[in-house]
């Protein structure tokens, strides 16, 4: 039992250290993105999405390495500058910082609950996948039929719920089902994507609430 706990703690420490590094490189990417024209950010977004899909296929055959994960987080971070800047311009820096703080707090609480609870959250997998599909469909519809304020709120809250759920699911599965060292970079990548999407949906929610006050 002691060996298992030590091994589990070792792997978890590697995961969260890897996540810390990925957030640093992602932040560096955001900073670099602030010096890039919008067209380049759009290209980097496509590159990041291709890298994410490629990682899914690579992981099936061999483990994704941390250099790949850090490269992805930098590229994706650079692409994120444009949506972040949109909110900086339209609602100001203070709400953006608050959205980041709320996202970090929600992530940490969900991760703590998932890692310490004896409850098995892996049953959420199917529901979260359905929720993710709903978000994708709603996002596509919004490109042609812009959301009302109410629908925007529903979309944002659903997105927050789905990605808080994914944090619970990913961390809980790591704790209860175990994790090899080779899987650490993939889990780091998954948690990074969870956090970024959570932040974007919280930011969207703050943007809607701020607009309604005007």
How far is it, in rounded angstroms, from Cα 97 to Cα 203?
9
Rounded mean pLDDT, 94-105:
95
How far is it, in rounded angstroms, from Cα 21 to Cα 165?
23
φ, ψ of residue 118 in degrees (nearest 5) = -85, -10
Rounded mean pLDDT, 103-129:
89
144 to 6, 94, 119, 208: CA distances (angstroms): 52, 31, 41, 19
Tell me what pLDDT residue 2 has.
Answer: 41
Host H or E run for residue 42? helix 38-61
Q: Does the pLDDT at position 185 exceed 80? A: yes
* Domain chopping of the chain, boundaries: 2-212
Question: Dmax over Cα atoms in the chain, in whole Å?
Answer: 58
Residue, of 32 and 174, whose pLDDT is higher:
32
The structure's pTM equals 0.90
Rounded to 5 degrees, what angle do the CA atoms 103, 104, 109 make?
A: 100
Tell me what pLDDT residue 179 has.
Answer: 72
Tell me what pLDDT residue 123 has.
Answer: 86
φ, ψ of residue 102 in degrees (nearest 5) = -65, -40
As to burial, measured by CB atoms within 10 angstroms (0-12 exposed, 13-18 middle, 19+ buried), residue 94 is exposed
| Two structure tokens written together for 9 | 């703690």
Tell me what pLDDT residue 75 has.
Answer: 94
Tell me what pLDDT residue 204 has.
Answer: 94
Q: Which of 70, 27, 31, 72 is nearest to 49 (CA)?
A: 72
| Two structure tokens written together for 1 | 């039992």
Rounded to 5 degrees, what angle do the CA atoms 79, 129, 21 make?
A: 40
Tell me what pLDDT residue 118 has.
Answer: 80
C-alpha dihedral over 46, 76, 66, 32, to 10 degrees?
A: 130
Measure CA 153 to chain center: 19
Confidence of residue 106 (pLDDT cuts 50, 70, 90): very high
Helix (H, G, I), strand (E, B) or coil at 214: coil
């Amino acid at each position: 039992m002691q060996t298992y706990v030590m091994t589990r703690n070792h792997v978890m420490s590697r995961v969260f250290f890897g996540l810390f590094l990925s957030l640093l490189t992602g932040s560096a990417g955001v900073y670099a993105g602030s010096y890039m024209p919008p067209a380049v950010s759009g290209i980097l977004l496509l590159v990041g999405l291709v890298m994410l899909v490629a990682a899914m296929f690579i992981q099936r055959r061999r483990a994704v390495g941390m250099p790949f994960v850090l490269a992805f987080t930098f590229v994706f971070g650079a692409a994120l500058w444009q949506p972040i800047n949109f909110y900086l311009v339209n609602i100001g820096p203070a709400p953006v910082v608050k959205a980041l703080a709320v996202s970090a707090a929600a992530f940490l609480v969900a991760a703590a609950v998932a890692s310490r609870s004896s409850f098995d959250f892996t049953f959420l997998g199917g529901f979260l996948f359905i929720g993710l599909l709903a978000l994708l469909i709603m996002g596509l519809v919004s490109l042609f039929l812009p959301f009302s304020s109410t629908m925007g709120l529903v979309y944002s809250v659903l997105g927050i719920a789905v990605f808080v759920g994914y944090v619970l699911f990913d961390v809980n599965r790591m704790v209860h089902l175990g994790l090899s060292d080779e899987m650490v970079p993939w889990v780091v990548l998954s948690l990074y994507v969870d956090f970024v999407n959570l932040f974007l949906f919280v930011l969207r929610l703050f943007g809607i609430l701020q607009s309604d006050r005007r």
